[in-house]
Amino acid sequence: MLLWYTKDKAKVKYRPLFDDRTYVGDDNLRFFEDESYAPFTMSPEQLAGFAPLPTGAKVYHPNPITSARSSGENDVRLFEFKGRKFSPGTRTFSTNEMGLSRLRNADRLLAIGNTLRFKRYLDDFRVMTRNNIWDNTRQSGFSDAKVYVVQTPSIAIQQAILMTTDPGDLILDPTCGSGTTAYVAEQWGRRWITIDTSRVALALARARIMGARYPYYLLADSREGQLKEAEVTRSAPSSAPVHGDVRQGFVYERVPHITLKSIANNAEIDVIWAQHQQVLEPLRAQINALLGTAWQEWELPRALPDAGDVGGWKTIKLDSINPLSDKGHKAKTLINQWWQARIARQKEIDASIAAKAEFEFLYDKPFSDKKKVRVAGPFTVESLLPHRVLGVGADDELIDPASPKAMERQAHYNDERNAERNFVQIILENLKTAGVQQAHKQDKITFTSLTPWPGELVCAEGRYAEGDAEKRAAIFIGPEFGTVARPDLVAAAREAGDAGFDVLIACAFNYDAHSSEFDKLGRIPVLKARMNADLHMADDLKNTGKGNLFVIFGEPDIDILDAGPEGADGQLRVKVNGVDVFHPNTGEVRSDGADGIACWFIDTDYNEESFFVRHAYFLGANDPYKSLKTTLKAEMDAEAWASLNSDTSRPFEKPKSGRIAVKVINHLGDEVMKVFRVS
C-alpha cells in the first residue's frame, strides 16, 4: 500500500499515468467503421482478438448523450436527426442546439432505437487512467534481477515517482536497501538522497547505480527537444535560448483527448461542412433528378448494384432502370463522386477535431535519443558526521543522548541487555587475529601479542616484528558510532610518545577530513586503520583472521600545478603520483605508483562538510577502458576517455572556499581523502 499526502494542498502535484485501452473482450467496443466510414459489427472472433480488423478500421462505442442534471428552460427537448425527432426523456441533452448540430455535421450521432447516442471512437482517447490497483507490479520471471532480500520491483517505485514528481525534483529514501529508489530516480532525471545503516546495502546500491545504462531523454530545454516538440505539435520550432535545465522537463509522447464538449465547441466544423455542401448538394440534386428519387443525404446508397443484381435494384426501388443504359452508368458515376466528396469532408472534419482537441501527456514515455547512452551522474556516499542528535521527550523537553544521565540510562540498559558484550574487547580480539592490512597483501602488521594498556586514550599495547627488531604499537580505538577527529589523534599520539611507544595505530570506522592531514607527532608515526563495518556485527562474526577487518590506506601523493597552456590564468590542475604507504617491514613511508589507484576524484571547492565529485578519473594496471565498454555495451569516445583515464586533472578554477579535497580508491575498494589548502 502507498500513502500519498501533502502538507499544502495548493502546492500538490499529480501526474496521471495511463494504460493502453483495447477493444478485445470489451462488448461495448464491438462496432467499427472501415476506411470509407461504412459501419460494421465485429464477429465473435474479431472481438476476442483471434481475427484481425480491416486495415484502417476505427472502433467506436455508442456513448450516452444525455445527463441526469436538472433541465432548464433553454435546454433542447426535441432534436431532429435523419428525419426523426429525438427527446432526452427524463434526462437532458449534454449540449445545446448548436452543439448537437455540430455533432450531427461531424457524423458523431447515432440513432439506436428511439435513443440518440454519441459516437465515441477508441482513438478519441486510446488510453485509460491507471487506477489504484497496480497489477503490473507483481513479481514474475521477467522482473528485476533480485539482489536484495526485500527488493521492491522497480515498476512500483517508478509509477509512484512519475505520478508525484517532475524532473529535477528531490526524492528522499531513508531505507536504501538495494537502491531501487535511487536507481529509478537516476533513470528519470530526479535528484535523490538515500540512507541506510548497512554497508552491504550501500555497496549493492552503488554498484547497481554505477553499472546501469540509462536512456538519454530529450530535454525540453535543449535544441533537440525544441525540434522534437515542433515535430510533435506540427508547429514552428521555438527560438528561445536553451540552457539544458532538467527542471524544464522532457519532451513527452502524448495522446489526443477528444470529448463531446470539444467537438460541440469546434466552430470550424460548421465552416468545413458548409464548404463541402456546395459540392455535395448539387451532386445529390443531380442524382435525384436523374433517378426520379428524393434521397436525403443519409439515404444515398454507397454504390449502385451490379448489372446482374436484380434484387439489389429492387431493394432501392430502381428496378425500372436499366443498369447498362447511359442513365445507369451516369447514376453510378454521380454516386461515386458524391461519396468521394463525402469521405473527403469527413476526413477534413476529423482532422479539425483532432487538431483542436486537448492532449494528455504520457509522463512514462518521454522521447529519447537512441544514439546516446547515459550513465549515472555525479554522486557520493557519505558516512555519519559526528553530530549530536537531540531527542524530544513526552513533555517536549530536549533529551541529549550524550548527557551523563542519558548515558547512565543507556549503560544500564546495555548491561541488562547484553552484559558480556564490550566493544573495545571485541575489537581487540579481532585485531589480534586479523592484524592490520595495507594496500599490498605482503604488507601486513601481524601482532605477536596484544595486551590491555591502562591509558586514557591508548587502550592496548601491540607488539610486532620489524625485521629483527620488535616494535611496540599503541592502540587507539575510535567510537562504535561516530567519527574520529584530528584532536583525538593528536592527544592519543602524545600519550603514546610519553609512554615510549614506537607507533600509534588508530582503529576507527570513520575519520573526519582534517585527520587525514595528521600522520606524525614528533617521532611517533600515526597509522590510521579503517575498520570494516562488519565489525558492527562482531558478536556474530566468525573470527578467522582472513578478512580485511583493519586496513591502512595511506595519504594521496598529490601535486597541485598551474593549469598551463590548456587553462586560463589562475586555474589549477591536480596530479596524483600515487599513495604514500607505510611499510612495516622497513618502517619507511614510500609512494605507491598510480597503478595501485583504481579511481580518484576531486572536489574542486570543498566546503568541509560533504565531498562532491566534480572531477572523476580512472587509472589502474588493469584495463578500465575495456571494463567500461563491457558494462555500457557500447563504444566509447576515445578522446573523451583519454580525459578520464589520466593521473592529471583537467584545469579548474581556484576554489572560493580556499580548499580542495582529493579522494583516492584502490583496487580493494579502500578509500582515503585528503584536504589541501589553495591560496
The pLDDT value recorded for residue 135 is 76
The pLDDT value recorded for residue 538 is 52
Q: Which residue has the higher pLDDT, 378 or 581?
A: 378
Report the percent of the chain where pLDDT is more than 70. Answer: 79
Query: What value does the mean pLDDT of the chain take?
Result: 82
Three cell numbers written together for 318: 430502381
The pLDDT value recorded for residue 624 is 61
Segment of 220-224, 384-388, 581-585 carrying the highest mean pLDDT: 220-224
Spatial CA neighbour of 506 closest among 460, 466, 467: 460
Cα end-to-end span (Å), the chain: 55
The pLDDT value recorded for residue 416 is 47
Per CATH, the number for 553-679 is: 2.60.40
The pLDDT value recorded for residue 53 is 94
The pLDDT value recorded for residue 437 is 72
Our CA dihedral for 452, 454, 459, 460, rounded to 10 degrees, sits at: -40
Task: Tell me the pLDDT tens digit for each residue of 59-75.
Answer: 999 999 998 877 777 78
The pLDDT value recorded for residue 386 is 43
Task: Tell me the pLDDT tens digit for each residue of 568-585.
Answer: 677 899 998 887 655 555
Report the percent of the chain where pLDDT is more than 90. Answer: 37
Residues 477/507, Cβ–Cβ less than 8 Å: yes
The pLDDT value recorded for residue 440 is 53
Strands 469-477 and 503-508: parallel
**pLDDT tops 70 at residue 414:** no
Q: Which residue has the higher pLDDT, 609 or 118?
A: 118
**Residue 258 C-alpha from the chain's centroid:** 30
pTM of the model: 0.61
Phi, psi values for residue 487, rounded to 5°: -60, -35
The pLDDT value recorded for residue 302 is 86
**pLDDT tops 60 at residue 241:** yes
Three cell numbers written together for 543: 573470527
- Mean pLDDT on 260-285: 94
How far apart CA 381 and CA 611 sit, in angstroms, is: 9
State the DSSP string of 103-143. HHHTT-EEEETTEEEEEEEGGGS-EEE--S--GGGS--TTS
**pLDDT tops 70 at residue 280:** yes
Spatial CA neighbour of 66 closest among 28, 109, 32: 109
The pLDDT value recorded for residue 417 is 44
- Mean pLDDT on 228-250: 91
Positive or negative: CA dihedral 510, 515, 517, 519: negative
The pLDDT value recorded for residue 146 is 60
State the DSSP string of 359-426. EEEEEEEE-EEEEEEE-----------S----EE-TTS-EE-TTSHHHHHHHHHHHHHH-TT--HHHH
How far apart CA 343 and CA 338 sit, in angstroms, is: 9
Residues 384/194, Cβ–Cβ less than 8 Å: no
DSSP state of 35: T
State the DSSP string of 156-218. HHHHHHHHH--TT-EEEES--TTTHHHHHHHHTT-EEEE--S-HHHHHHHHHHHHT--EEEEP
Confidence of residue 176 (pLDDT cuts 50, 70, 90): confident
**pLDDT tops 70 at residue 42:** yes
Confidence of residue 472 (pLDDT cuts 50, 70, 90): very high
**pLDDT tops 60 at residue 390:** no
Segment of 190-204, 423-437, 446-460, 631-645 carrying the highest mean pLDDT: 446-460
Task: Write out 449-480 in H/E/C secondary structure.
Answer: EEEECCCCCEEEEEEEEECCEEEEEEEEECCC
Q: Which residue has the higher pLDDT, 242 or 322?
A: 242
The pLDDT value recorded for residue 134 is 79
Confidence of residue 647 (pLDDT cuts 50, 70, 90): confident
- Range of weakest confidence among 163-177, 271-285, 410-424, 646-660: 410-424
Q: Which residue has the higher pLDDT, 104 or 418?
A: 104
Three cell numbers written together for 43: 464477429
Residues 258/357, Cβ–Cβ less than 8 Å: yes
**pLDDT tops 50 at residue 407:** yes
State the DSSP string of 277-341. HHHHHHHHHHHHHHHT----GGG--SSPPPTT-HHHHHHTT-TTS-TTSHHHHHHHHHHHHHHHH
Residues 129/143, Cβ–Cβ less than 8 Å: no
How far apart CA 124 and CA 118 sit, in angstroms, is: 12
Domain 135-226+234-249+368-374 in this protein, CATH class = alpha beta
The pLDDT value recorded for residue 224 is 94
- Range of weakest confidence among 183-187, 379-383, 475-479, 511-515: 379-383
Spatial CA neighbour of 201 closest among 177, 185, 220: 177
- Mean pLDDT on 121-130: 91
- CATH number 3.40.1350 is the correct assignment for the domain at 419-549: yes
- Grouping H, G, I as helix, E, B as strand and the rest as coil, residue 607 is coil
Q: Which residue has the higher pLDDT, 263 or 310?
A: 263
In one letter, which amino acid is 250? F
- Range of weakest confidence among 45-59, 217-231, 655-669: 655-669
The pLDDT value recorded for residue 642 is 73
In order of 114, 353, 460, the CA distances from 100 in angstroms are 16, 15, 93
**pLDDT tops 60 at residue 409:** no
- The domains of the chain are located at 13-129, 135-226+234-249+368-374, 264-356, 419-549, 553-679
